[in-house]
């Protein structure tokens, strides 16, 4: 009985290798399916100053007051909106925009209020 259990048909191993080879070849073959990240962007025009645009960006340049530096930029966590140094997000993000947390350091000894220019 043990000899029968140990004996395997000799055609199973070549058949298994053949089937696996066919699966690999068929998965590597190209087809006409186009993924979302491969869509045709020939008519895409980036905003001025972004992506492949060589134009100057529109809007007012951001000039920080003396003693203020940008320490980092972090995305907001959509589950915990108070993750930006404990500050809640103000307003709803507009469609297509990503809310960010800008971290500034004020090395001057004075508190200051700064308004960002539009653009």
- List, for residues 4-29, the tens digit of each pLDDT value: 555 556 666 777 888 888 778 777 76
Chain centroid offset of residue 70 CA: 22
Q: How many CA atoms lie within 13 A of 50 on its CB side?
A: 7
- The pTM assigned to this predicted structure is 0.46
> Mapped to the 3 state alphabet, what secondary structure does 57-89 carry?
CCCCCCCCCCCEEEEEEEECCCCCCCCECCECC
- List, for residues 57-100, the tens digit of each pLDDT value: 888 888 898 999 998 888 777 677 667 777 777 766 666 677 77
- Here the tokens at position 28 are 């590597």
């Amino acid at each position: 009985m043990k000899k029968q259990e140990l004996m395997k048909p000799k055609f199973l191993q070549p058949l298994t290798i053949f089937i696996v080879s066919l699966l690999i070849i068929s998965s590597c073959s190209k087809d006409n399916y186009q993924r979302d990240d491969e869509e045709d962007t020939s008519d895409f025009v980036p905003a001025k100053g972004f992506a492949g645009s060589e134009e100057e960006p529109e809007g007012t340049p951001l000039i920080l007051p003396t003693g203020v530096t940008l320490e980092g930029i972090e995305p907001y966590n959509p589950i915990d909106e108070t993750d930006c140094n404990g500050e809640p997000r103000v307003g709803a993000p507009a469609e297509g925009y990503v809310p960010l947390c800008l971290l500034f350091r004020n090395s001057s000894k004075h508190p200051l209020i700064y308004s960002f220019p539009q653009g």
